């Protein structure tokens, strides 16, 4: 890979570009369901999504439509009033980090993924959440996307109702404020926002909306220019995350974490004291130490923990 010059340090080409996901198929969606009649027009092959992230984001538009039919905004607003009060997600990570001098763990309740297929057979989200908490996780991440990750918003509600004290992140592909309200109504304390999917004006709006309903935001980046762009925002109530998995190719490289944290925008993160999570592909205590050494105060771990038979012991071992 050709290294390119970016700020003061050498950054490999794959981390030096802005990933720009098209939010809508370029030729349009080609079909509309109107009650008893479905309309379709033929589309060209060029109208296919370029990668899985794009495919998921295109699907979200349709999914949100059908959610809105069943659960209009007014009903969500009512449910939000009944939801348990939001808890301090970022605060819980900082407290854990101070107590243990290890990165605060966000443990992910994850049944499947597009790259790995089913990761956990006999998936019981509440049991998994309780095991994570018992092992010492500071916060939990709950995948809510049904089609690609076999997740559900109901898992958030069930975990919260079961008395789990760890603050909960709604792991969703958010493109609209409606999804924020759905997350809060289900009991989430924070939401994921993916910089590759959302230009800054969208991020600004969604951060503001989220704050209004008491949600904190984890803004995920994968490249140096994405981090540079996100740092231009008012990040009150936000933390950041570096996804070590390229969502376009599924390739995981922990070294991304270090390259990005060593870049000029990465230095700024450290100077401003912004909580940063290292995400994906973390398997061993050595991986944790590496990501911590790069400057991350938090880690987001799914697969390596969720697939174990004794999840509590796996968490304890990872943080040992």
Could you say which of 108, 133, 172, 226 is catalytic? 108
| Element holding 98 (H helix, E strand) | helix 89-100
* Interaction residues for ligand IGP, span 67-126 (CB under 6 A): 108, 110
Could you say which of 220, 226, 228, 303 is catalytic? 220
To the query of whether residue 110 is one of the catalytic residues in this protein, the response is yes
Question: Does residue number 301 form part of the binding site for ligand IGP (CB under 6 A)?
Answer: yes
Length of the chain: 320
Q: Which residue has the tokens 């407290």?
A: 95
Which of 81-99 are b and which e, b meaning 16 or more Cβ less than 10 Å from the residue's Cβ? eebeebbebbebbbebbee
Could you say which of 141, 172, 280, 303 is catalytic? 280
Could you say which of 243, 244, 256, 263 is catalytic? 243
CB of 112 closer than 8 Å to CB of 292: no
Among 14, 144, 216, 280, binds ligand IGP (CB under 6 A): 280
Task: Identify which range of 40-48, 132-140, 201-209, 278-286 contacts ligand IGP by CB under 6 A.
Answer: 278-286
Task: Identify which range of 80-88, 89-97, 267-275, 280-288 contacts ligand IGP by CB under 6 A.
Answer: 280-288
Could you say which of 111, 120, 130, 171 is catalytic? 171
For 302, the token pair is: 């799914």
Could you say which of 133, 228, 279, 303 is catalytic? 279
The 3-state secondary structure of 181-250 reads HHHHHCCCCEEEEECCCCCHHHHHHHHHHHHHCCCEEEEEECCHHHHHHHCCCCCCCEEEEEECECCCCC
CB of 63 closer than 8 Å to CB of 209: no
Select 195 or 207, whichever has its Cβ closest to ligand IGP.
195
- Contact residues for 240 (Cβ-Cβ < 8 A; gap 6+): 218, 219, 220, 221, 227, 230, 269, 274, 275, 276, 277
| Element holding 105 (H helix, E strand) | strand 104-109
Burial class (CB in 10 A: 0-12, 13-18, 19+), 43: middle
Question: Does residue number 302 form part of the binding site for ligand IGP (CB under 6 A)?
Answer: yes
State the minimum distance, in angstroms, from the CB of residue 236 to ligand IGP: 22
Question: Does residue number 243 form part of the binding site for ligand IGP (CB under 6 A)?
Answer: yes
To the query of whether residue 127 is one of the catalytic residues in this protein, the response is no
To the query of whether residue 204 is one of the catalytic residues in this protein, the response is no
Select 87 or 222, whichever has its Cβ closest to ligand IGP.
222
Question: Does residue number 171 form part of the binding site for ligand IGP (CB under 6 A)?
Answer: yes
Question: Does residue number 287 form part of the binding site for ligand IGP (CB under 6 A)?
Answer: no
Question: Does residue number 279 form part of the binding site for ligand IGP (CB under 6 A)?
Answer: yes
Residue sitting closest to ligand IGP (CB): 302
* Interaction residues for ligand IGP, span 214-233 (CB under 6 A): 220
To the query of whether residue 171 is one of the catalytic residues in this protein, the response is yes
CB atoms within 10 A of CB 304: 16
Select 267 or 307, whichever has its Cβ closest to ligand IGP.
307
Binding footprint of ligand IGP on the chain (CB under 6 A):
108, 110, 171, 220, 243, 279-282, 300-304
Catalytic residues: 108, 110, 171, 220, 243, 279-280
């Amino acid at each position: 890979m050709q290294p390119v010059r970016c700020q003061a340090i050498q950054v490999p080409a794959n981390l030096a570009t802005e990933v720009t996901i098209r939010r809508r198929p370029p030729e349009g969606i080609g079909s509309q369901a109107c009650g008893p009649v479905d309309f379709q027009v033929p589309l060209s092959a060029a109208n296919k999504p370029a990668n899985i992230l794009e495919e998921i984001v295109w699907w979200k538009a349709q999914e949100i439509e059908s959610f809105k039919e069943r659960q209009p905004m007014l009903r969500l607003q009512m449910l939000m009033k009944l939801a348990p009060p939001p808890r301090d997600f970022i605060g819980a990570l900082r407290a854990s980090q101070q107590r243990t001098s290890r990165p605060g763990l966000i443990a992910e309740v994850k049944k499947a993924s597009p790259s790995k297929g089913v990761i956990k057979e006999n998936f019981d989200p509440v049991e998994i959440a309780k095991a994570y908490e018992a092992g010492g996780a500071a916060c939990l991440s709950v995948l809510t996307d049904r089609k690609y990750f076999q997740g559900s918003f109901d898992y958030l509600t069930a975990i919260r109702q079961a008395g789990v004290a760890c603050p909960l992140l709604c792991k969703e592909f958010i493109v609209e404020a409606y999804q924020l309200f759905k997350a809060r109504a289900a009991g989430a304390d924070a939401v994921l926002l993916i910089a590759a999917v959302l230009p800054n004006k969208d991020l600004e709006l969604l951060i503001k909306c989220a704050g209004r309903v008491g949600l904190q935001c984890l803004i995920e980046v994968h490249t140096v220019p994405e981090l540079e762009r996100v740092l231009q925002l008012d990040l009150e109530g936000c933390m950041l995350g570096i996804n070590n998995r390229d969502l376009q190719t599924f390739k995981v490289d922990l070294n991304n974490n270090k390259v990005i944290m060593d870049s000029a925008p990465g230095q700024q993160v450290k100077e401003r004291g912004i909580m940063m999570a290292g995400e994906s592909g973390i398997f061993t205590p050595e991986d944790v130490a590496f990501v911590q050494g790069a400057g991350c105060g938090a880690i987001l771990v799914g697969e390596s923990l969720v697939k174990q038979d004794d999840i509590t012991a796996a968490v304890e071992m990872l943080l040992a």
